[in-house]
Amino acid sequence: MSQQQDFADRPPWTRPAFIASAALVLIVIVAGTLIAVLGADDSRDNNADDTPPASPAPADPAPQSPDQALPTAIPTTAPQGVRWELVGPLPVPVSDTAGPTQITDTGASGFAHTPEGALIAAAQISTRASYSLGREHWEPALEHQFVPSPDRDRMLATLRTTDTSPSDPGSLSQIAGFQYLSYTPDTAVIGLVLRVPSAGTPRYHVLSTTLLWRDGDWRMQAPPGGAWASVNRVTSDLTGVVEWGAR
């Protein structure tokens, strides 16, 4: 006959009830540890999701040259809104948008920093610097509206020692058109077309004028040698010339 197993005499940690209880406690501890770990991970994930991504630092704007915003398109037609006023017997252009903004008995200044402003400056300054208008016009024009240079000084010296009394108005050439030879916001080279008074076939002078942007305004560069003849040519061909002048 088999003997009935007696658990009463066995050590408590070997009894089935103790083992089952210990196993249950171990399961609870492991489960609690997993919950704590997973909860911490979820908290970190949630915090990461709630934090908005850092915005990239705005890029520094590309450096911009002051000249980039200036108009450079060369006019292919006569400027609008131009009126012609007399300086002595010669008409010169005036524009409310292109200048000049300052007109006195001895000069005109304040031209727009545009191709049209350069064109009107070329017409105004070259006309005022003409020896045919008399010293009261050409001397202040050369002194204040020409870029200082040896050529400018030579022109002044020549005129000061020459008889430059005003000419007969009927013998004076007048502006009849223009032709841009080159243009940048710093330098404009413009051919002013002057009609020569004559009873026969029309003849024209093309005077190549150079304007430089200096000290906030257009100023004229004296011709080589201080002589207009060095930048003047006579023609009867007006191909490429825009008709422009007093009517």
pLDDT of residue 69: 84
pLDDT of residue 33: 41
Rounded distance between C-alpha atoms, residue 142 and residue 129, angstroms: 6
Any idea of the CA torsion for 64, 69, 74, 80, to the nearest 10 degrees? Answer: -170
Q: Among 218, 209, 244, which residue's Cα sits nearest to residue 108?
A: 218
Q: Which residue has the tokens 């000419």?
A: 167
pLDDT of residue 200: 74
Q: Judge contact between 95 and 75, C-beta under 8 A.
A: no
Q: Quick one: what percent of the chain has pLDDT higher than 70?
A: 69
Alpha-carbon torsion 84, 86, 87, 88, what sign? positive
pLDDT of residue 15: 47
pLDDT of residue 201: 77
Q: Say if strands 217-221 and 232-235 run parallel, antiparallel, or are unpaired.
A: unpaired
Question: Nearest 5°: CA angle at 59, between 54 and 62?
Answer: 175
Rounded distance between C-alpha atoms, residue 50 and residue 40, angstroms: 15
Instruction: Please provide the distance, in angstroms rounded to a whole number, between the alpha carbons at the two ends of the chain.
Output: 147
**46-66 pLDDT, tens digit each:** 444 455 455 444 444 344 445
CA 205 from chain center: how many Å? 33
pLDDT of residue 166: 62
Q: Among 119, 118, 121, 124, which residue's Cα sits nearest to residue 138?
A: 124
pLDDT of residue 169: 65
Question: Nearest 5°: CA angle at 78, between 75 and 84?
Answer: 130
Q: Judge contact between 108 and 124, C-beta under 8 A.
A: yes
CA 48 from chain center: how many Å? 48
Q: Among 241, 190, 192, which residue's Cα sits nearest to residue 212?
A: 190
Q: Judge contact between 151 and 231, C-beta under 8 A.
A: no
Mean pLDDT by 10 residues, the chain (247 residues): 44 43 37 42 48 47 55 95 95 97 94 98 96 92 97 96 70 92 98 87 92 98 96 92 94
Q: Judge contact between 112 and 106, C-beta under 8 A.
A: no
Q: Which two tokens stand for residue 222?
A: 């004296």
Q: Which residue has the tokens 């050529």?
A: 151
